[in-house]
Amino acid sequence: MARRAESAGQTMSQPMLALEEVCASYGAVQALKGVSVHVHAGEIVTLIGANGAGKSTLLMTICGDPRARSGQILFDGQDITRQPTHAIMRGGIAQAPEGRRIFPRMTVMENLIMGAEIAGHDPARDLEHVFTLFPRLKERATQRGGTLSGGEQQMLAIGRALMARPRLLLLDEPSLGLAPLIAKQIFAAIRELNEREGLTVLLVEQNANQALRLAHRGYVLVTGRITLEGPGRELLSRPEIRAAYLGGH
């Protein structure tokens, strides 16, 4: 796959995705209070934080739902802050939403096809690509989505997002509710996508340990504000991170 393959962290030029001082709220509750996050092409960037810190809101705000109250979101230098959700998702960003949200009564095949439909390209090549990445999905191709196990559903959610040939993949807690071994497989697949195809990934995770190991860079979000930022391994070694997110050992 001919995807952009600059090596991580070295493109100091224009970031692929840039959030500048973004504020967002649900009604009167302000969820993001001026967040700035940059993701460069070819990077895996992770966003960690406690429950309710605003991690998922940040991913959803990139997609325009809820819309940013102030600040700016740039994708490839283009302002997407005011674009409608469906237009943003057609422009090269794909999301595997929190809780997987596959279509339970549609088959695995149909779920995957839905991902490619809007992009309008022939899905055959992308199907092959997803099936090589997750061979399990090929075995299950004619089953209903709702009959898959949690891990398979997560594979399906990621596979469905990949079908649109995105340049930036947004992943919202892909390890949620999965057995540790399965979560590991999912993370391995994300790494493979990034290393082999240069796919840029913005990953939101509660599982800070694995996420920071995987990511090139990480951000720590606390009640709607970025409090720390740095290379994944470096964050992992900081005592305050270990204390707050890794159970103190």
Partner 1 sequence: MRFRLALRDAAVTGLVAAGLFLPMVALRTDVAPNGALFLRTRWSDAAILITLAALARFVLVLWLGRRIPVASTASPWWEEPLRRAGKLLTPLLLGVAVMLPFIPGTGRYELDLGVLVLTYVMLGWGLNIVVGLAGLLDLGYVAFYAVGAYSYALLAHAFGLSFWICLPLAGILAGFWGVLLGFPVLRLRGDYLAIVTLAFGEIIRVVLVNWVSLTNGPNGMSGIPRPSFFGLPFNMSGEPDTFAGFFGLEPSPLHRVIFLYYLILGLALLTNWVSIRLRRQPLGRAWEALREDEIACRALGINITTTKLTAFALGAMFGGFAGAFFATRQGFISPESFTFIESAIILAIVVLGGMGSQIGIALAALIMIGGFEVFRGLEEWRMLVFGAAMVVIMVLRPRGLVSSRTPTVALGKRKAISGSLVGEGHG
Residues near partner 1, by CB under 8 A: 63, 65, 84-90, 94-97, 101-107, 109-110, 113-115, 117-119, 141-147, 160-161, 164
Residue with token string 């992943």: 171
CB nearer to partner 1: give 12 or 124.
124
Closest CA to 173 of 70, 67, 50: 50
In the complex, minimum distance from the CB of residue 155 to partner 1, in angstroms, rounded to a whole number: 15
**What residue spans of 134-247 are helical by DSSP H?**
135-139, 150-162, 180-197, 208-214, 232-237, 239-245
In the complex, minimum distance from the CB of residue 37 to partner 1, in angstroms, rounded to a whole number: 19
CB nearer to partner 1: give 16 or 96.
96
CA distance 197 to 183: 21
CB nearer to partner 1: give 118 or 188.
118
CB nearer to partner 1: give 94 or 244.
94
In the complex, minimum distance from the CB of residue 172 to partner 1, in angstroms, rounded to a whole number: 9
In the complex, minimum distance from the CB of residue 219 to partner 1, in angstroms, rounded to a whole number: 22
Q: Are 47 and 219 in contact, with CB atoms under 8 Å apart?
A: yes
Q: What stretch of H or E contains 201?
A: strand 200-205
